[in-house]
Amino acid sequence: MPSYRQSIGYRLFTIGNMVFLTLLAFTCLFPLIHVFSVSLSSAQAVSAGAVKLWPVDFTLASYEAVFAKKAFLQSFGVTLQRTFLGTTISMLLITLLAYPLSKDSKQFRFRTVYSWFFVFTIIFGGGLIPSYMVVKDTGLIDSIWALVIPSAVPVFNVVLLLNFFRNLPKELEESARLDGANHWTILWRIYVPVSLPALATVLLFTVIGHWNSWFDGLIYMNQPENYPLQTFLQTSIVSKGLAEMTAQEVEKFLRVNDRTGRAAQIFVAALPILLAYPFLQRFFMKGIVMGSVKE
């Protein structure tokens, strides 16, 4: 009889959890679904507030207007280039930095000093003006490297990965050393293959950081054609008014509506991340939990 009551309670608890998580998931998805519906609706329906979760007066005019913009496609290309270069460089530097910092003081004598050197940069920043002066004086203004090099070593990701490395069994490294492996071999042949959850988590953080960043493009780029996608969206959607538009843009604006055009651009900008996340999601929770806890 007790086991029967326990079974009923467990089932009710499971059903309650499923209902709660379903409602929570819908709450998170509602803004995205609404933006997508607005992007596929007519200007009149959006202005009247008739669009909720389903497109009204279905039309692709917003997406036609978005992909007809040369500046939008140009900024999209800059972001793709930035994300590829930035992610590749960051992952390499993060891995090379996390490995030695994951060792104890007996193996790496001044490990604590170096660790605090990097942690200090999390607590205290140099400030916007000194950062701009460094980028300017090194000749990076208006180049793709101004978007890549200053953020090449995100210390939070380094801490996440080094803690994951520290939780790996010491026997893996000891057995490799008995076989004559050096640090380089141990890192790339042992640590990296068994650290896919942490690496996938760091990869996701890095890609999202580069994809969503807009402020550095605004201050480091003088030419609008060098803007990354999020900077272009900020300047064209938030700052740009009718007075700055050409006659053709005004005509499209009147046909498309500011809200539908904005929704289309936002959805196109978010789509690559939405497509990439499911492939990394299965590693995400394991990587962030194991990388944030030190035994």
Distance CA 157, CA 147 (A): 18
Question: What confidence tens digit (pLDDT) does each residue in 168-185 have?
Answer: 888 888 888 888 889 899
Question: Cα(129)–Cα(125) distance, rounded to whole angstroms?
Answer: 11
pLDDT for 251 equals: 54
pLDDT tops 90 at residue 294: no
Query: Are 184 and 191 a contacting pair, CB within 8 Å?
Result: no
User: What does the pLDDT look like over 221-277, one tens digit per residue?
Assistant: 998 889 998 888 878 766 554 444 555 555 555 555 667 777 777 788 888 877 777
Interval 1-34: pLDDT, tens: 445 455 787 888 888 889 999 998 888 888 888 8
Q: Are 75 and 231 in contact (CB under 8 A)?
A: yes
A 10 A CB-CB count for 294 gives 10
pTM for the whole structure: 0.75
Q: What are phi and psi of 127, to 5 degrees?
A: 100, 160
Q: Does 121 score more than 80 pLDDT?
A: yes
C-alpha closest to that of 50 among 32, 37, 33, 63: 37
Q: Is 281 helix (H, G, I), strand (E, B) or coil?
A: helix
Q: How far, in Å, CA of 49 to CA of 52, rounded? A: 8
Q: What is the mean pLDDT of the chain?
A: 82
Q: What is the pLDDT of residues 63-109, one digit of tens each?
A: 887 788 788 889 999 999 999 999 999 999 999 999 999 888 888 88
More confident residue, 138 or 277: 138
Q: Give the separation between CA 200 and CA 4, rounded to whole angstroms.
A: 43
